[in-house]
Amino acid sequence: MSTPELPQPAWRKSSHSGGDEGNCVEIADLNNRIGIRDRKNPAAGHVTLTRQNFTSLVAHLASQP
């Protein structure tokens, strides 16, 4: 019996990432979780957060000067 192949996540560049200066992150909807990875090095893996923790992270970052 073979294991069905999981669909590849649709990674997208964050709208808050800069232009071409190399400080870009990508995010992907991983069903009940959100993945975050370095756009320059996607093979390095990603961080996975719950949707609630992702929302808290974004709120915290938005509150920083």
CA gap 48, 22 in Å, rounded = 22
Residue type present at position 56: S
The candidate with the shortest Cα–Cα distance to 51, out of 28, 26, 24, 32, is: 32
DSSP 12: E
pLDDT per residue as tens, the chain (65 positions):
665 565 788 999 877 666 666 678 899 999 889 999 998 898 999 999 999 999 999 999 899 88
pTM: 0.74
